[in-house]
Structure 1
Amino acid sequence: MGFRGSRGGSRGVPRGRGARGRRGGLMQGRGKPIFDSARMAQTEAKELPEPESESSEEEEIPREDESSDEETEDIPAIRPYAALVQSLAIESGPHTKRRKLDHSQQGGDIDPKRDVPDDAELGRVDAENADDVEEDEEGPGTATDGLLQDDEDLEDASDPFESHFAAPEADILSQRLKSLRNNQWSTKKMVLPIDGKVVLSIPEPVDSTASVTSSLISGPENLKLKHKLSGAFIKQQTSFDKLERSIAPFIFNYQDVLFCSRHPGNAESLRRLTCLHMVNHIFKTRDRVIKNNARLAKEVDNTELELRDQGFTRPKVLMILPTRESCVRMIKVITSLCEPEQQENVKRFEDTYVEKTVNLSEDKPEDFRELFAGNDDDMFRLGLKFTRKTIKYFSQFYNSDIIFASPLGLRMALEGKEDKKGDYDFLSSIEMVVVDQADALVMQRWEHVEFIFEHLNLQPREAHGCDFSRVRNWYLDNNAKYFRQIITLTAFNTTEINTLFLKESKNWTGKVKISPNYSGAIQGLGLKVKQTFSRLGAPSFDADPDSRFEYFTSAIIPTLTRRIKDTSGVVIFIPSYFDFPRIRNYFATSPNTSGLSFASISEYTPVRDVARARSHFLSGRHSILLYTERAHHFRRYRLQGVKKIIMYGLPDNPIFYKEMVEGYLGRSVQEGKLEPGQGSVRIIFSKWDLLKLERVAGSERVGKMIRDKGDTFDFL
């Protein structure tokens, strides 16, 4: 009887550090349940995107819905598609748009950080807003002429945007869609300048156009970019480095990418490349719609003109991020590429997302500082809208081009509130999903990520002002998930991330997984220590928790109880919280451990109890300390008095292995509490820990350790 449930799905819900977002009755991404209704109401009042006034529109695609991203109306039962179209036939024709003008700015430069007053966002016009005047909207022809002058807006058959979204080859597309439904893939290994394993999978049949991804891209001049974006990007860098040359072909050819070697050193390059691609996609989509609007306006009889250029709703890109600070970094890259003349609500964004003070010490590891520096709140969602010269923050979801959200923040919007049903129609036309720092999301609550993907690209339950005559056919045929691109960036691969990649990546142009070759965390520890890997025989993945617990109680516990007086300074590292209460209860109730004193630290342990446990462990009052992986992930405690480490399972993050073995045992040696070479580490693993074992033991050793007849492997 295991305590884990499904290990490939949801994990425990850690409490987290300094999280500011709170909601009642639902698990915080890194915290326990919060039921503070007053604080919930206060936070929601601050966070919710405000209703948007038509007067703030500048030059947009018609048919935008005016519903809020959270304050949605009750949604009736799903109606047949034909009835839906018939009932909405009268809702054609764009709304009149207005644009705000400040008298003090007319005829002069636009303040790039002008904030629209909240009352104006709510559409309330009173004496305080008397300066907001109505201006005639620029006509479709004018807008199109401007675009043609910018980059001529010519359709290029070699542009991946055309071949993937706008005009895919019908025969190839139909065959590949059939292969995707039957899960038929053609897989091959590739060689790139970067070190690692590259596996490219393409739905059958594989034609000659698929080989384009094997060619490198030397710089931005080789990409099919909007002229404005290309110029802004070249100002920042004129060529690509080795990583960018290797990964850019897959990203810009709209293939799904799982990149498993993200680290603080290459994070900025990956952000810049990903943001360039998604903004380029948004601009091309928008400009195509505006161009077709002009064509329809010029045609006297346009009943025979069929222009399929849209989805059901406006949002096209979803970015799933771990913290508000990660959202700030993405938006900084986007604004540097777009170079907008005006940013609406930017001060509100800076006040609620940007941390002005340094909240971490320099002695923390680099990966920890990258993740938790700045505003580390993991409960947020934000809409971003582009017009010709403006970026608007806090736009309603249905009026947004990009949605930034943490898994917890977006799930709360999808599930709704007690008095209102949830709404996920704004995710119906998502064409690009970016999951950055996926390894950090695993340490939050991965179930939220799975929930989000379950609600992507579903048929909408309401029309939301959609002009169905402009909707692309593959949306109407419920094939949007086969055109959606998923870009996942992670420091390392895990069972959860790999399962999501296999299950959700159904891109008709293919998918690629890029993984590094690992030398192993057991190498170069900086001290001599005996490391013993013990393999247990778990017949299946579901049986692994019970097999592991049985091995622990029958093989590990006797070594601790045999000489109780000599047992001290033992840290038992437990990767999963589902195993933690089982082991803690065993130490507390089993007669076999009655002579052992122990303390415990998990992600839920209050700060005062953590300090007491560490103090008693250091003094020897408690000989054993139970310590979870998430407690280390969120706190990075530097434990003292450690003489022996027992790993109930391997950590997901190989950095943790070095920090505990080299840091804890090495510190004991330096402080004279442990003789050099006397410390030891014992690790329990099974064949189901293949990904973890590769990172710790090394790519060259992992196969032998999994397949060899022996079940014990020693390293010094």
Structure 2
Amino acid sequence: MAVGIDNSITTSLLTLLNVSATKAGKRKRPENEFVPSEKLNKRKPVQFAELEPPDSNNIDDKPTTGVAEASNVVEDGPDEAEYEDQYELHFGVKPAVLSDSSRASVDSKAWKTSKDRQGKLGTTILSMPANLQPPFSGTPRIDILERLKTPFQSKQSKQSREHVELQNDLLSTLSSRRDLYLTSTPLDSRKSLREAIALHTVNHVTKKRRRVLKNNERLAHAAKTNPSAEPPEDVQDQGFTRPSILFLLPFRSSALDWFSAITSHTPAPAFQIENQSRFVSEYGLPPGAIDKLAEAEPGTYPPDHVETFKGNVDDNFRVGIKMTRKSVKMFAEFYGCDIIMASPLGLRRSIEKEKNADYLSSIEILVVDQLDVLTMQNWEHVKFVLSHLNKLPKESHDTDFSRIKPWYLDGHAAYLRQSILLSAYDTPEGRALYNSSLQNVAGKIRTQAHWSPVNVPDGIEQNFVHFDCVSPKDEPEKRFHHFTTQLLPAILKSAVQSANTVVFVPSSFDFIRVHNYFRKHAGVTFTVLSEYSTNQDISRARQAFFQGKKAFLLISERFHFYKRYKVRGIRNLIFYGPPDHPQFFTELLSYPFLDEGVEPSDVTCRVLYSKYDWFRLERIAGTEAAIGLIKAN
């Protein structure tokens, strides 16, 4: 079966690319370049295997003519050979972990799992292909080039011991080249996590470029010493296109944070950052604009809300970053860059407009940050982008196929791509992505958080209402049926509980359904707050509910996520399902006490749940209590 698949891939690739057209050392520059956005600078495309134009600021990019001059191109650290072996082990010409049996295990989802504890990362679940014997055992050493590691350790000396240990444990885990899903990223650790992951990606780009430049030297030397001889054959060192790192981020402000993290490892004056002022201008706030969240007094908005929405929150962007030994160039053309930073929406619009995603064919490290925020946007955009990763390109882009690694030609790039997922909390979308879409034959690691119950005002009775459901496909229908036939009718029979009542709905699809039910069948006065409400709508709804003109108020979780308004007049809370964000539960239960004279006994709380609400239930009730709630029914 596997042979048939490989032959099909090879046949389509040969038909597509016509391998015999180009030989090493006789390369053409592309005539038709892909420009992903009108805002991106146009430039002549440069293939990764080519010697780049001389630049007085970039020793790494000066063309050389002999092996004697190679030391001017690449300065190896004392442990270069040791670290290069670890990089080659996974991304080299013949990766030790890539085999027919390891691919078959991944394809059939035959994983063997084990639980461990990895320092500051906490409890982790390691999943390995069932037929794979790992090329190493124990904890991997931190695989960072000496010239990058030394300044990083110098910066670490000024940080707290806890953050240093977290960064080192993270870098050690990433050095295994396994996929990693961080399911809990506290606010105070996010900057440290970004810096460590950024260092890992810079290290990857640097090692890849060094290998290419060394092989360029070998080819140039061979051509000079014996022009009639065939060029060396063992120079496969790249993919179909140059970009090897992809960051998927929710907002421009997120891209600015990652830009700062990346450039912190390329410090001035040794490095020149081209187009930095333009990038900061376009990805920061407009001139004269005031960031109300950042300027507000502490406590006005929750810290996580400020951290998420401060700065430029435009969610339509994409930018290419080219890295050389002495410079970082922002707004590089996609086929000439090393790193792509984009929002799922921005990248999808680019792909659909150009009807081409070849620049994603050779991504070797994928970083998806703030998964929890992306689920509050449009998860379909994320799925769309990921479906275009590591596919065989539609065009050749004048690629030198003698330089392409064999596993790219075999269509096996997805089996070696390292994916790094970061989220404030685990979500069904993130877990489905981790379980079904990640194919790294080196294995994958997921952190397992242990949750404590959230803080709620003392004295409020929390009533968790269970409904039976045997299939996740039937869950929305079962939830709606239980709500409309049992929970809501019981509330409407009470004169006290049928007024001043908020119905909080996590899912946007469920919110539309509940809204329609109230509009047609409930027979009560109500108003709504959704992500589509205008400022005028919001003001009217809040006032009508507070004054008692409307008995019920329907609130979608996305509305609360984006606006975080405090709502007065609440006495009864119905959670159609546990909220994704555990802090929302705390906040909503505290809002009744914004009004004077309210006692805890005046407040009621009901939470509708099934066994498929495990993630959200655990974050609210705590791990132990959630286990009890699930097992009790």
TM-score range, shorter chain: 0.7 to 0.9
Offset at residue 242 of structure 1 (A): 3.6
Map 1:653-668 onto structure 2 (within 5 A).
653-661=581-589, 663-668=590-595
Offset at residue 271 of structure 1 (A): 0.1
Matched, 1:319 2:247: yes
Offset at residue 505 of structure 1 (A): 1.4
**Equivalence for 1:175:** 101
Q: Which amino acid aligns with 2:485?
A: S
Q: Is the 8 A contact 1:155 1:162 kept in 2?
A: no
Matched, 1:429 2:359: no
SS at match of 1:156: helix
- Equivalent residue in structure 2 for 1:488, among 395, 409, 421: 421
- The aligned length equals 584
Identity %: 35
Distance, in Å, in 1 between the alignment partners of 2:181 and 2:136 is 18
Range 379-388 or range 551-560, more displaced: 551-560
Matched, 1:138 2:63: yes
Offset at residue 344 of structure 1 (A): 1.5
**Equivalence for 2:6:** none
Matched, 1:684 2:608: yes
Say if 1:691 and 1:565 are closer, same or farther in 2 by CA, change over 3 A.
Answer: closer
Offset at residue 697 of structure 1 (A): 1.2
- Equivalent residue in structure 2 for 1:498, among 410, 427, 431: 431
SS at match of 1:212: coil
SS at match of 2:508: coil
Map 1:210-289 onto structure 2 (within 5 A).
210-213=136-139, 223-238=142-157, 241-289=164-212
Q: Is the 8 A contact 1:457 1:481 kept in 2?
A: yes
Distance, in Å, in 2 between the alignment partners of 1:446 and 1:169 is 33
Q: Which amino acid aligns with 2:273?
A: Q
Q: Is the 8 A contact 2:98 2:441 kept in 1?
A: no
Q: Is the 8 A contact 1:140 1:291 kept in 2?
A: no
Q: Is the 8 A contact 1:271 1:330 kept in 2?
A: yes
Q: Which amino acid aligns with 1:296?
A: L
**Equivalence for 1:44:** none
Range 145-154 or range 346-355, more displaced: 145-154
Gaps of 5+ in 1: 1-77, 98-117, 124-131, 216-221, 710-716
**Equivalence for 2:481:** 550
Gaps of 5+ in 2: 1-10, 31-38, 45-52
Map 1:519-598 onto structure 2 (within 5 A).
519-521=452-454, 524-564=455-495, 567-590=498-521, 593-594=522-523, 596-598=524-526
**Equivalence for 1:63:** none
**Equivalence for 2:338:** 401
**Equivalence for 1:459:** 392
Matched, 1:188 2:121: no
Q: Which amino acid aligns with 1:558?
A: P
Q: Which amino acid aligns with 2:619?
A: R
Distance, in Å, in 2 between the alignment partners of 1:244 and 1:570 is 46
Matched, 1:352 2:282: yes
- Equivalent residue in structure 1 for 2:311, among 336, 361, 374: 374
**Equivalence for 2:555:** 627
Q: Is the 8 A contact 1:538 1:544 kept in 2?
A: yes
Q: Which amino acid aligns with 1:640?
A: R
Offset at residue 134 of structure 1 (A): 9.8
Range 688-697 or range 630-639, more displaced: 688-697
Cα deviation, 1:370-423, whole Å, max 9, x if unaligned, reads 11001111111010001231111111111110000011001111111xxxx411
Offset at residue 207 of structure 1 (A): 3.3
Matched, 1:693 2:626: no
Q: Which amino acid aligns with 1:175?
A: S
Offset at residue 304 of structure 1 (A): 4.8
Q: Which amino acid aligns with 1:211?
A: S
Say if 1:195 and 1:412 are closer, same or farther in 2 by CA, change over 3 A.
Answer: closer
Q: Is the 8 A contact 1:143 1:290 kept in 2?
A: no
Distance, in Å, in 2 between the alignment partners of 1:541 and 1:96 is 52
SS at match of 2:292: coil
SS at match of 1:274: helix
Q: Is the 8 A contact 1:195 1:517 kept in 2?
A: no
Distance, in Å, in 2 between the alignment partners of 1:624 and 1:611 is 16
**Equivalence for 2:126:** 200
Distance, in Å, in 1 between the alignment partners of 2:375 and 2:41 is 40
Q: Is the 8 A contact 1:172 1:205 kept in 2?
A: no
SS at match of 2:128: strand
SS at match of 2:208: helix
Q: Which amino acid aligns with 2:208?
A: T
**Equivalence for 1:101:** none
Say if 1:82 and 1:526 are closer, same or farther in 2 by CA, change over 3 A.
Answer: same
Distance, in Å, in 1 between the alignment partners of 2:16 and 2:245 is 29
- Equivalent residue in structure 1 for 2:214, among 291, 301, 318: 291
**Equivalence for 1:66:** none
Distance, in Å, in 2 between the alignment partners of 1:137 and 1:246 is 37
Q: Which amino acid aligns with 1:399?
A: G
- Equivalent residue in structure 2 for 1:342, among 268, 272, 282: 272
Q: Which amino acid aligns with 2:109?
A: N
**Equivalence for 2:4:** none
Cα deviation, 1:628-683, whole Å, max 9, x if unaligned, reads 0000000001000110100001111111111111x213323xx22x2233211100
Offset at residue 178 of structure 1 (A): 2.9
SS at match of 1:451: helix
Say if 1:507 and 1:140 are closer, same or farther in 2 by CA, change over 3 A.
Answer: farther
Distance, in Å, in 2 between the alignment partners of 1:441 and 1:638 is 24
Q: Is the 8 A contact 2:506 2:577 kept in 1?
A: yes
Cα deviation, 1:144-174, whole Å, max 9, x if unaligned, reads 3124435268433774212111155558744
Range 347-356 or range 291-300, more displaced: 347-356
Say if 1:406 and 1:172 are closer, same or farther in 2 by CA, change over 3 A.
Answer: closer
**Equivalence for 2:7:** none
Offset at residue 254 of structure 1 (A): 0.7
Q: Is the 8 A contact 1:189 1:200 kept in 2?
A: yes
**Equivalence for 1:62:** none
Offset at residue 441 of structure 1 (A): 0.4
SS at match of 1:531: strand
Q: Is the 8 A contact 1:147 1:153 kept in 2?
A: no
Offset at residue 586 of structure 1 (A): 1.4
**Equivalence for 2:48:** none
- Equivalent residue in structure 1 for 2:87, among 153, 161, 172: 161
Cα deviation, 1:40-94, whole Å, max 9, x if unaligned, reads xxxxxxxxxxxxxxxxxxxxxxxxxxxxxxxxxxxxxx96515622463279535
SS at match of 2:456: coil
SS at match of 1:385: strand
Q: Is the 8 A contact 2:90 2:97 kept in 1?
A: no
Matched, 1:608 2:536: yes
SS at match of 2:126: strand
Map 1:97-116 onto structure 2 (within 5 A).
none
Distance, in Å, in 2 between the alignment partners of 1:540 and 1:505 is 24
Distance, in Å, in 2 between the alignment partners of 1:402 and 1:558 is 56
RMSD value over aligned CA atoms?
2.7
SS at match of 2:367: strand
Range 545-554 or range 356-365, more displaced: 356-365
